Amino acid sequence: MRDVVVAGVGMTAFGKQPDSSLSGLATEAVDSALADAGFHGEDMDGLGMIYYANVLSGLLQGQESVRGQHALSRTAVAGVPLINVENACASGSTALHQAWLSVASGQVDAALAVGVEKLHTDDKAQALAALTSVLDQERLPEVLAELGAAGGGSVFMDFYARAATRYMEQTGATRDDFARVAVKNSEHGSRNPKAQYSRKLTVDEVLAARPVSGPLTVPMCAPMSDGAAAVLVAAPELARRWGADGVRLRAVVVGAGRRGALGELLPAAALSAFEQAGIGPEDIDVVECHDAAAPAELIVLEELGLCAPGEAVAALRDGATHIGGELPVNPSGGLQSRGHPLGATGLAQVVELADQLRGRAGARQVGEPQAGLAENAGGYLGPDAAAATVTILSR
């Protein structure tokens, strides 16, 4: 397999965008990624495949099929072969994996990964029902019982609440720690003009907010977001010809969950990604991870091998995971503050890492990082996620 670079990245602002359309969001992100790469869409120079990620437009916008072809039919890249991919909240990074494979294999010289989602609806119950459709419908009562689903809220927050409770028992982490994650990420998000939330929270505020499930309160949970993100990958010589300021895409690994297995998914995917990248956890300077709920950030850092078991809490308390700390985590604000438009999230993480590695992250720049890691997870197979990806980028 040959080397692949991220040649250009782009994203829309994330948030509540009732007047936007799926195609409008997709177009903005794609145009921005192409421009970033110095790529001239008109001549389709080497761009041979597009992978499009979306999770819920079937239930929320009635757009069930060939979603990407429709969303991109009025852009410069219309007519490039396109495959729609889906892996729940890990769909965006799954699209990136396929784009990487297309270029790494030599099949095409450039490929585009695009993720788009519109979650906001006037009918919150509809959106929550749509989220439940991610669970195994053939055994739904069993799965809801397994989750201890409180009902009325997002079943995924029941999932994270259970994981949080286990983590508290195992490590001595407290609700205050989960609030600290939310506070840190709100501070990071306040530096990100594309983030859904810009207000800095306090620990007291987070703890006093409306409870969601178990130890979780509203600001500890990712919001419902609209948005799109796009990543253009290419063979290094092609990216150079465009004049792109590229970063190396060292690994994108899609890991698989297995029913009944807990805590196997991420460690295996991370191991495989580090092996593919030829670097280790100690080489990672900045992380974007799937903090769909605050405790997940701590759990994930340990499962990825970036913190020793039980030590993510100390890293958080010491400020190591803040911008300016030893290992900044979610400088973008993470899912909690940047927002979480499902299919776009995994690609937005890569947008952030590419900007950090190129020193373009403005007020949230974390020094001069040489390598970054993104983790993106999706679905529920009980008691863990159904899929997860680990992506490693470097200068």
Smaller CB distance to its own copies: residue 85 or 306? 85
The number of CA neighbours under 13 Å toward the Cβ of 62 is 0
Element (H, E) at 294: helix 294-303
Q: Which of 40, 70, 89, 290 is catalytic?
A: 89
Smaller CB distance to its own copies: residue 94 or 349? 94
Smaller CB distance to its own copies: residue 206 or 249? 249
Residue 381 sits in the site that holds its own copies (CB under 8 A): yes
> Minimum distance from CB of 56 to its own copies (Å)?
6
**Among residues 166, 146, 147, 167, which one has the least CA distance to residue 157?**
147
Residue 148 sits in the site that holds its own copies (CB under 8 A): no
> Minimum distance from CB of 28 to its own copies (Å)?
15
Residue 126 sits in the site that holds its own copies (CB under 8 A): no
> Minimum distance from CB of 139 to its own copies (Å)?
8
> Minimum distance from CB of 389 to its own copies (Å)?
9
Residue 88 sits in the site that holds its own copies (CB under 8 A): yes
What b-and-e string marks burial along 257-285, b requiring 16 or more CB atoms within 10 Å of the CB?
Answer: beeeeeeebbebbbbebbeebebebeebb
Catalytic residue status for 289: no
> Minimum distance from CB of 300 to its own copies (Å)?
18
Residue 165 sits in the site that holds its own copies (CB under 8 A): no
Catalytic residue status for 290: no
Backbone angles phi, psi at 70, to 5 degrees: -70, -45
Smaller CB distance to its own copies: residue 40 or 74? 74
Residues numbered 306 to 335 that lie near its own copies (CB under 8 A) are: none
> Minimum distance from CB of 297 to its own copies (Å)?
22
Say if residues 382 and 259 touch (Cβ distance below 8 Å). Answer: yes
Residue 47 sits in the site that holds its own copies (CB under 8 A): no
Residue 259 sits in the site that holds its own copies (CB under 8 A): yes
Residue 134 sits in the site that holds its own copies (CB under 8 A): yes
Q: How far is CA 41 from CA 8, 47, 67, 245, in A?
A: 12, 9, 21, 17
**Among residues 106, 46, 104, 368, which one has the least CA distance to residue 253?**
104
Q: Name which position in 27, 39, 97, 231 contacts its own copies (CB under 8 A).
A: 97
**Among residues 329, 393, 389, 378, which one has the least CA distance to residue 156?**
378
Contacts 24+ apart (CB under 8 A), 202-210: 203/176, 203/179, 206/178, 206/179, 206/182, 207/175, 207/176, 207/179
Question: Listing from the earlier edge strand, what are the strands of the sheet with 247-256?
Answer: 47-53, 110-118, 226-234, 5-11, 247-256, 387-394, 371-378, 286-288
Q: How many residues bind its own copies (CB under 8 A)?
A: 57
Residue 56 sits in the site that holds its own copies (CB under 8 A): yes
Q: Name which position in 13, 55, 181, 221 contacts its own copies (CB under 8 A).
A: 55
**Among residues 389, 391, 376, 287, which one has the least CA distance to residue 329?**
287
Give the interface with its own copies as residue ranges (CB under 8 A). 1, 21-23, 55-56, 58-59, 61-67, 69-70, 73-74, 78-88, 94, 97-98, 101-102, 104-107, 130, 133-134, 136-138, 254-259, 261, 378-379, 381, 386-387
Question: Catalytic amino acids?
Answer: 89, 340
